[in-house]
């Protein structure tokens, strides 16, 4: 069984890692309170980057709560997101979502990204071929 840990290898760490996703993100999932950008990487694992700005989420404890929930939902779905670099960008009002609402919305958007990526995953024929 594969590990579901969220180690350093599952994070986008450098500005160049972020820039590659920003410059060419074929997969997008938008919600009123956040945006998810994703693209294929050349690795056997997904990587996550977070942008939770003080401009949109004023209180530090709210930014930390959001980051914990995003990381946790990503961690639980990392097998199906394998081979993707993903950035989650907070928008105004994200901190107003309750924990159950946040988890529900994140899971819906992760599913959208998974479906879109599965259609275009390199080396795997599309359904019906």
Is 34 inside a domain boundary? Answer: yes
User: How many domains does the chain divide into?
Assistant: 1
Helix count and strand count (H, E) for the chain: 3, 4
Is 1 inside a domain boundary? Answer: no
Give me the average pLDDT of each 10-residue run along the chain (129 residues).
76 95 94 96 94 96 97 94 96 96 96 93 56
Domain extent at residue 95: 19-119
- Opening angle at CA 59, ends 92 and 90, nearest 5: 30
Q: What is the CATH number of the domain that holds 47?
A: 3.30.230.10
Report pTM: 0.89
Is 55 inside a domain boundary? Answer: yes
Q: What is the pLDDT of residue 129?
A: 45
Largest CA distance in the chain: 50
Distance between CA atoms of 63 and 60, rounded to whole angstroms?
Answer: 5
Is 9 inside a domain boundary? Answer: no
Is 113 inside a domain boundary? Answer: yes
Is 129 inside a domain boundary? Answer: no
Is 114 inside a domain boundary? Answer: yes
């Amino acid at each position: 069984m594969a590990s579901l840990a969220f180690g350093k290898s599952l994070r986008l760490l450098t500005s160049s890692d972020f820039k590659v996703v920003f410059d060419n993100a074929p997969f997008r999932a938008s919600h009123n309170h956040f945006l998810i950008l994703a693209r294929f990487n050349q690795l056997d694992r997904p990587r996550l980057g977070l942008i939770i700005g003080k401009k949109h989420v004023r209180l530090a404890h709210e930014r930390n709560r959001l980051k914990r929930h995003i990381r946790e939902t990503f961690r639980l779905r990392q097998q199906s997101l394998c081979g993707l670099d993903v950035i989650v960008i907070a928008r105004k009002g994200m901190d107003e979502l309750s924990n159950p609402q946040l988890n529900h919305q994140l899971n819906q958007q992760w599913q959208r990204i998974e479906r879109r990526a599965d259609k275009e995953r390199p080396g795997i024929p599309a359904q019906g071929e």
